[in-house]
């Protein structure tokens, strides 16, 4: 499951530590919506609300962390097999340097 934030630009020295619903996060060094990270499930609704009420601040989204298991990553053999199915021309061996023609005198 990923963790996402909705953020706007600014600095606490200029804007203070709160910009409407956006709170300064020292860990992220950004103003983030509601001062917390969101999961995938709640992100879309929160982003729509943040955009509707703060479109002049131009909120943006950013992925903070993702959780992937190593089992989900393909092995080298699986990657080569997939590449052979989809684009075998990419696995062709590159020709070496061209041989010089012999000059017969």
What are the tokens at 89? 């021309």
For residue 21, the 8-state DSSP code is T
CA-angle at 4, arms to 57 and 31, nearest 5°: 35
From first CA to last CA, the distance across the chain in angstroms is 73
Question: Of the ranges 12-16, 49-53, 82-86, 97-101, which one carries the lowest mean pLDDT score?
Answer: 97-101
Q: The whole model's pTM is what?
A: 0.58
Does pLDDT of 70 surpass 60? no
pLDDT digits (tens, 9 = 90+) for 28-68: 999 999 999 998 889 989 999 999 998 899 899 988 887 76
Beta-carbon contacts of residue 46 (< 8 Å; ≥ 6 apart): 6, 33, 34, 38
State how far the Cα of 65 lies from the Cα of 1, in Å rounded to an integer.
9
State how far the Cα of 66 lies from the Cα of 85, in Å rounded to an integer.
29
What pLDDT is attached to residue 31? 92
pLDDT digits (tens, 9 = 90+) for 71-96: 567 788 888 888 888 887 777 766 67
Does pLDDT of 69 surpass 60? no
Map tokens 């983030």 to a residue: 32
């Amino acid at each position: 499951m990923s963790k996402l934030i909705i953020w706007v630009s600014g600095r606490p020295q200029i804007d203070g530590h709160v910009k409407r619903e956006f709170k300064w996060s020292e860990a992220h060094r950004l103003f983030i919506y509601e001062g917390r990270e969101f999961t995938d499930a709640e992100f879309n609704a929160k982003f729509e609300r943040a955009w509707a009420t703060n479109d002049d601040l131009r909120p943006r989204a950013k992925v903070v962390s993702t959780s992937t298991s190593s089992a989900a990553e393909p092995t080298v053999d699986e990657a080569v097999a997939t590449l052979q199915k989809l684009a075998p021309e990419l696995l062709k061996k590159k020709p070496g340097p061209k041989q010089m023609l012999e000059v017969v005198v």
